[in-house]
Amino acid sequence: MRAEAAAAEIARRLVVLTPIEPFSTGNGLSMRAELFRRSAPTNMDVQTLVVPVAGHLPRPSAADAAVVPRDPAAARRGTLALAADPVWRDRLSRVGSLPPLARAASPGLVHAVLANIRDRGPFALHVMRAYLAPLGVAVGERLRAIWTTLDLDEDDAAFARSIDDFEGAAAYERLLDVFGPLFDGLSAASLDEAVAISERHGVSVEYLRNAVRPPLRPVAARRRRRRAVPSLLFVGNLMYPPNLEAIDLLVKEILPAVRHRLGGRVRLTLVGPHDGRLDRLCSTDVEVTGFISDLAPVYASADAVVVPLRRGAGTRIKLLEAFAYGVPVIASSVGAAGLEADDGRHLLLADDCDRSVAAVEAVLTDSDLAARLVDEAVQLVGERYSIDTVGRAIRDFFERAATGAPGHVSPRPAERPT
């Protein structure tokens, strides 16, 4: 999208367009948005604009974030105005029906977004998620942005296909075919998904890992002997359908079987924003806390994190958070997908109920195993998933977008040096 007339300019302000408030914990997409905005080059001011189509965190927004009101009537008027431009009319014709979240974040909202921008250029623009791409292109063009980037985070089309939503998958593929090449850089959180999207759409999608900041207290200081009542933990968006399915499996099958194996009580804590549907699961040994901004005490009181996801896309940033806090992790292959973590070394993989129960029992009864998993996982976060390491990679990504240098996809997992 870089304009030739502006090629010699240097962007002094980075506008970050995101579908949810950035925050350091509590929601994977919030955490990734926070990672990108905090990784902006030091010579750039950052302004965050939230078009709240991916949920809302029950906490104050970041100090520099502005929430863009979604006025359907204004969006329709804005879309009609865009369609009067032959270039936009062609784009909208080729993309056809947009995915639901892209319709909610209509490109017709461009004037509502622009009204919330504090100053004038020269600008750069970073957009979070594919469904904000049409709106991002409209904003970037009207700002005369010097460069624009799009973080896809995950492969939305592949996820739609995994739940037999073939119409939704086709809509995401059309969206990226039309709008993906208009950005100066694209990225994704999973290497395999970055490669798949690149090959499917003929664009370069860079692999930019998720990242977490390790806690201040050393992990070793929190190690303790097995408690009388062991405690399992699940953290995430408790309204996300794949998470709800995993929770149902946890409460109805895994937890009772672990109790039977151990011959006593086992507690389960479910942490994250929810809409009240999970209140029915609450009992003496099952607690639903809702959103918690400071998760350090929650992880400190957990003996294991269990993530039995059966479907999903992208990478699980919450697993990295558990690694960083020194809590052993049991996850399905889907739950750990996209992470450079090895079964039996950094975590235990379990893809059915019996294996999940056996893995939880092993972690709760074998302190040496739990300690080895924690040590290796903490080291993995420090080497590959730290804020500092990934932040440098994101700044390099922005620099390539600014200079017009070609992007790249890292080697496939089989090609990584050991």
Q: How does pLDDT run across 192-216, given as a tens digit for each residue?
A: 999 999 999 999 999 999 999 877 6
According to CATH, the topology of domain 219-384 is Rossmann fold (3.40.50)
CA distances from 125 to 211, 226, 390 (A): 21, 49, 19
pLDDT at 5: 40
- What architecture is domain 4-211+386-415? 3-Layer(aba) Sandwich (3.40)
pTM of the model: 0.86
Contact call for residues 227 and 266 (beta carbons, < 8 A):
no
Residue by residue, what is the 3-state secondary structure of the chain? CCCHHHCCCCCCEEEEEECCCCCCCCCHHHHHHHHHHHCCCCCCEEEEEECCCCCCCCCCCCCCEEECCCCHHHHHHHHHHHHCCHHHHHHHHHHCCCCHHHHHCCHHHHHHHHCCCCCCCCEEEEEECHHHHHHHHHHHHHHCCCCEEEEEECCHHHHHHHCCCHHHHHHHHHHHHHHHHHCCEEEECCHHHHHHHHHHHCCCEEECCCCECCCCCCHHHHCCCCCCCCEEEEECCCCCHHHHHHHHHHHHHHHHHHHHHHCCCCEEEEECCCCCHHHHHCCCCEEEEECCCCCHHHHHCCCEEEECCCCCCCCCHHHHHHHHCCCCEEECCCCCCCCCCCECCCEEECCCHHHHHHHHHHHHHCHHHHHHHHHHHHHHHHHHCEHHHHHHHHHHHHHHHHHCCCCCCCCCHHHCCC
Tokens of 48: 């965050």
Contact call for residues 134 and 22 (beta carbons, < 8 A):
no
Identity (one letter) of the amino acid at 13? R
Task: Identify the CA nearest to 94 among candidates 142, 137, 150.
Answer: 137
The full set of domain ranges for the chain reads 4-211+386-415, 219-384
End-to-end CA distance of the chain: 38
Counting as low any pLDDT under 50, the low residues of the chain are 3-8, 221, 410-418
pLDDT at 416: 36
For 84, list phi and psi in degrees, rounded to 5.
-70, -20
CA distances from 339 to 104, 221, 342, 392 (A): 31, 26, 9, 19
Q: Give the dihedral sign, CA 151/154/156/158.
A: positive
Task: Identify the CA nearest to 34 among candidates 390, 339, 362, 314.
Answer: 390
99's CB contacts (< 8 A; 6+ apart) are: 131, 156, 168, 171, 172, 175
pLDDT at 227: 76
| Separation between Cα atoms, residue 327 and residue 5, nearest integer Å | 53
Q: How many CB atoms lie within 10 A of CB 234?
A: 23
For 195, list phi and psi in degrees, rounded to 5.
-65, -45
| Separation between Cα atoms, residue 135 and residue 149, nearest integer Å | 13
